[in-house]
Amino acid sequence: MPVHKFGPAIIRLHDTDNVVVATRRLAEGENIGEAVTLSVIPSGHKIAVRPIRESEAVLKYGQVIGRASRDIAAGEQVHLQNLAMLDSAVSHEIAIDGGPTPLLPESERRTFKGYLRPTGLVGTRNYIGIITSVNCSATVAKAVADYFKTNGFGNYANVDGVVALTHGTGCAIPTNTEGFTYLRRTLNGYARNPNFAAILMIGLGCETNQISHLVKAFELEEGPRLRTMTIQGLGGTRKTIEEAVGIIQELLPEIDAAKRTEQPLSGIKLALQCGGSDGYSGITANPALGYAADLLVKNGGTAVLSETPEIYGAEHLLTRRAATPEIAAKLMARIDWWQNYTEKNGAELNNNPSHGNKEGGLTTILEKSLGAVAKGGSMPLMEVYEYAEPITEPGFVFMDTPGYDPVAVTGQVAGGCNLIVFTTGRGSVSGFKPAPCIKVATNNEMYEHMSEDMDINCGGIIDGSDSIQAAGERIFEKIIAIASGDRTLSEGYNYGDFEFVPWQIGAVT
| 311 neighbors 402 (Cβ within 8 angstroms) | no
pLDDT tens-digit readout, 301-353 = 999 999 999 999 899 999 999 999 999 999 999 999 998 998 888 887 766 67
Ramachandran region, residue 170 (left: φ > 0; alpha: ψ -120 to 50; beta: rest): left
- pLDDT, residue 35, reads 94
Model confidence pLDDT, tens digit, residues 114-131: 999 999 999 999 999 999
Range with the lowest mean pLDDT among 85-99, 139-153, 247-261? Answer: 85-99
Choose the weakest-confidence range: 47-56, 160-169, 320-329, 355-364.
355-364
Closest CA to 358 of 66, 71, 8, 15: 66
> Is residue 78 scored above 50 in pLDDT?
yes
- What local confidence, expressed as pLDDT, does residue 96 receive? 56
Coil, strand or helix: which one is 408? Answer: helix
What's the pLDDT at 366? 86
pLDDT of 273 > 70? The answer is: yes
Is residue 136 within 8 Å of 240, Cβ to Cβ? no
Distances from the Cα of 482 to the Cαs of 123, 281, 313, 486, in angstroms? 12, 23, 33, 4
| 9-33 pLDDT per residue, tens | 999 999 999 999 999 999 999 999 9
Averaged pLDDT, 438-448: 97
- What is the pLDDT, as a whole number, of residue 365? 85
Question: What pLDDT does 424 receive?
Answer: 97
> Is the pLDDT confidence value at 394 over 60?
yes
pLDDT value for 426: 94
Residue 486 predicted with pLDDT over 60: yes
CB neighbours of 230 closer than 8 A, spacing ≥ 6? 137, 202, 203, 204, 205, 211, 240
Whether residue 418 is predicted with pLDDT greater than 90 in this model: the reply is: yes
Predicted TM-score (pTM) of the model is: 0.94
Is the pLDDT assigned to residue 137 strictly greater than 50?
yes
User: If you average pLDDT over every residue of the chain, what do you get?
Assistant: 94
One-character DSSP codes across 103-144: PPPGGG--EEEEEE-TTS-EESS-EEEEEESSGGGHHHHHHH
- Residues 365-387: what's their mean pLDDT? 94
Type of residue numbered 183: L
Contacts of 502 (CB under 8 A, 6+ apart): 167, 169, 182, 183, 186, 187, 388, 407, 410, 414
d(CA 334, CA 325): 15
Instruction: State the pLDDT confidence band at 1, using cuts at 50, 70 and 90.
Output: very low
Instruction: Report CA-CA distances (Å) from 43 to 27, 173, 471.
Output: 11, 47, 21
CB 131 within 8 A of CB 199: yes
Q: What is the pLDDT of residues 178-201, one digit of tens each?
A: 999 999 999 999 999 999 999 999
CA angle 337-342-348, nearest 5°?
125
- pLDDT score recorded for residue 456: 98
Does a cis peptide bond (omega within 30 degrees of 0) precede residue 353?
yes
